[in-house]
Structure 1
């Protein structure tokens, strides 16, 4: 079993670079969309700010505490899932010979890089997702503390200032969470490499298309855009 990157065929190298480029560009577009075409991620940032402004005057604040707790639970779930998936990927590398024999029999595949080498992008993307989810979980914790520091009196000069701080931390946490989700999408795309270079290409195109459609052309975006009745 070899894991020499220099042994990769040119086509595999090009498509692997395309996977990384698609991952970076799709993430950048969702966070820095054209002014005329805001993404779902950008639209939701304003709703998060609205949430914190409403939070100042809401009594009691049990709903807000429950909501921020559910966001933390979501990030913890994905972080745990990534840890399990990384462990499975590492175990697969340890038993790559059996999987290698299986993939060589698939019609789309042929002689090429070992399974161990093909799993490295998957594990790398999952590791990135894990780090993003862990940081998002931490930031949602910071947000909950800032929310707890918001005075109950809306007339207090600190009330809306601290709510604004909580909103920005909330947005930063959500951005990290979204980056983790994108890494999972492209980790699944990278699994297509087990079918050969064309499987990698198909996975990359499919993951990129799904992410861009959900950010810029989904029904949920249309609903979110309708801010006024």
Structure 2
């Protein structure tokens, strides 16, 4: 039984939207908590970032470091630009909502929804990618701050001093924070794909949200990439499995 409220908004739509928000926020809070007992791609990669910054202290000319950072910044800029296009496309759909509803009315696998419900779904999708854009923009700013910190690195002959090691650690931490922010933007893309399932049926929306959580969890905590990068694991066994 599906209870319908005002303007065709149903109980299952409320439940699926609540599950979507709870799953997204809950997973983000759990995955991004810095628990030393939990090995993740973020925790393992931080050691590589720290080593990168320490090695950079010894280089007279940091052309390779600049190239690496340039690649990272370009990839984030691409996702930020794409988010803007998606937001624009979603907003444009409000103008042709009646035509979209007419096109989907004859599709048997798409649940019938009122105009208000369509507007709520489109607004939810737009908000997801607005969130993603702000995360990507903040990640870019954090990488810019990291560049400034690297610019303050001392000369190579002072690379082993406590001051030099401390500033290298700060640069690595800013790098890690920037990547964490970027990861949150990427998660918004994943959950945005799940939100598309809401246009088909609320229960498919629930299932798609659960699938996204499982996929992200496996990639961040159980992937072969993590086992290969983790110095404590037997990476040779990864390729034999």
| TM value normalised by structure 1 | 0.90
User: Runs ≥4 in structure 1, deviation > 6 angstroms?
Assistant: none
Deviation at 1:112, TM superposition (A): 2.3
| TM-score (normalised: structure 2) | 0.86
- State the secondary structure of the residue aligned to 2:57: helix
Residue in structure 2 matched with residue 143 of structure 1 by the alignment: 146
> Which segment is superposed worse, 116-125 or 36-45?
36-45
Question: How many Å apart are 1:21 and its aligned residue?
Answer: 1.0
Contact 2:49 2:175 in 1 (8 A): yes
Gaps of 5+ in 2: 235-241
In the TM superposition, what whole-angstrom CA distance separates every residue of 1:63-111 from its partner, at most 9, and x where no partner exists? 1111111111111111100001000000012211121123333323333
C-alpha displacement of 1:48? 1.4
CA 1:12–1:120: 2 relative to 1, 3 Å: same
- Aligned partners of 2:8 and 2:113 also within 8 Å: no
Q: 1:185, 1:207 within 8 Å by CA — same for their partners in 2?
A: yes
Instruction: Find the counterpart in structure 1 of residue 163 from structure 2.
Output: 158
CA deviations 1:117-162 (Å, max 9, x no partner) are 2111111110000000000001101101111110122145532222
For 1:117, the equivalent position in structure 2 comes to 120
Could you tell me which residue of structure 1 aligns to residue 238 of structure 2?
none
2:59 equivalent to 1:58: yes
Q: CA offset at residue 15 of structure 1?
A: 0.6
The change in CA–CA distance for 1:213 and 1:228 in structure 2 (over 3 A counts) is closer
- Bigger drift between 129-138 and 109-118 goes to 109-118
Q: Tell me, yes or no, if structure 1 residue 170 matches structure 2 residue 175.
A: yes
Q: Which residue of 2 aligns with 1:16?
A: 17
Larger Rg: 2
Q: Which moved further from structure 2: 104-113 or 137-146?
A: 104-113
* Structure 1 vs Structure 2 CA RMSD: 2.1
Structure 1: gaps spanning 5 or more residues? none
* Native 8 Å contact 2:7 2:114 kept in 1: no
Residues 130 and 180 in structure 1, CA contact (< 8 A), matched pair in contact too: yes
User: Is the CA contact 1:31–1:42 (under 8 Å) kept in the aligned structure 2?
Assistant: no
1:223 to 215, 224, 228: 228
The one of 209, 212, 226 aligned to 2:217: 212
**Pair 1:186–1:54, CA change in 2 (3 A):** same
1:73 matched to which residue of 2?
74
Deviations 1:19-39 (A, max 9, x none): 111111221222127654422
Q: Give secondary structure in 2 for the equivalent of 1:110.
A: coil
Q: 1:146 to 1:213 in 2, by over 3 A?
A: same
- Tell me the residue number matched to 1:129: 132
SS at match of 2:209: helix
1:203 counterpart (202, 208, 225): 208
